[in-house]
Amino acid sequence: MPQFFLNKRLIILLVSIIILVALIGFSLRDRDRLTWPEQFVKDTTGWVQTIFSRPAHFVAGFFENVTDLQNTYDENKQLKARLDGLAKLEADVQQLTKDNKELREILDKQDTLSAFKPIQATVIGRNPDRWHELLIIDQGEINGIKRNMAVITANGLIGKVKSTRQFTSTIQLLSAMDPTNRISARIEGGAKTYYGTIEGYDKDRELLKMKRIPYEAKIEKNQLVMTSGLGGIFPRGLPIGKVVEVVPDEYGLNQTAYLKPGANFYDIEHVMVVKREMLQPDLGEMIDEKEEEL
């Protein structure tokens, strides 16, 4: 067998397969931070991406504006119809906000789970191979972005921050196939509020899956789903989507709801990273205590 082991190419191939497996294993670990060479490379390319993406978006925006002009007449009609209801809605909102504030003052409870500070960011890159649904944005740690923060557009939640560098960060969309991507959510609009977790995405139907809803819950179509704020990092009340269908889960113990996401996962240019104002509980402590009890 000496000849077999002397074959240089074969040895190179075998060694590189070992390195491949080791590297994939290393990067699939639940990493808190990227290593510093990765951060350096990503920040440097992020800078180049910014230079390229600004003019590209400008040109694309121009063509989009031209196509928008063609729909203006129809849109204007629809918007006018909705305008009548708007004045009343606005008055109601003002009244309610005032009431809410006054009541809070009476209760002496200032902090809420729903208070948040948005950080504006622009998308400068998207993963081209489309196995991983990742976006790169032009704001990083120096702007106050941390891992696992919620990311929204004007229409609703789109994902969370996967990793951060000094000047850029990576967002993982809700449509990514990642079993660790879970968000505590609640269904509103019915007689009772029900809680569940957003887990997974149905690629064919383009619907989000909300699992672990109690079996006795009565949920109708078009009920709103929002974040609950109980996960510890996301604020309360970020819109996620609307219920399309509810089915019992595979063992019949819980229900699974299919949601139509409010935000479009494709046409994303500007996003907001959401920083919760209320204190974040230290999850590490909670888990340690539990383990001691066991």
Binding site for other proteins (CB under 8 A): 16-17, 19-24, 26-28, 34, 38, 41-42, 45, 48-49, 52-53, 56-57, 60, 123, 125-132, 134, 136, 162-163, 170, 177-178, 203-204, 206, 264, 266-267
Q: What is each CA distance from 282 to 50, 285, 286, in whole angstroms?
A: 35, 6, 7
Q: How far is the CB of 44 from other proteins (least distance, A)?
A: 9
Give the CA count within 13 Å in the CB-facing half-sphere of 216.
2
Q: How far is the CB of 132 from other proteins (least distance, A)?
A: 5
Share in percent of the chain as helix, strand, coil (round to 5): 40, 30, 35
41 sits in which H/E element: helix 36-107
Q: Which is nearer to other proteins, 104 or 132 (CB)?
A: 132
Q: How far is the CB of 145 from other proteins (least distance, A)?
A: 16
Q: Which is nearer to other proteins, 178 or 249 (CB)?
A: 178
Q: How far is the CB of 202 from other proteins (least distance, A)?
A: 10
Q: How far is the CB of 62 from other proteins (least distance, A)?
A: 12
Phi, psi of 59 (to 5 degrees): -65, -45
Q: What is each CA distance from 52 to 56, 194, 266, 268, in whole angstroms?
A: 6, 45, 19, 17
Residue whose token pair is 């002397």: 6
Q: How far is the CB of 27 from other proteins (least distance, A)?
A: 5
CA quadruple 212, 218, 221, 224: dihedral positive or negative? negative
Q: How far is the CB of 88 from other proteins (least distance, A)?
A: 34
Q: What is the chain's length? A: 294
Phi, psi of 237 (to 5 degrees): 85, 15
Q: Which is nearer to other proteins, 61 or 214 (CB)?
A: 61
Contacts of 32 (CB under 8 A, 6+ apart): 147
Q: Are 122 and 136 in contact (CB under 8 A)?
A: no
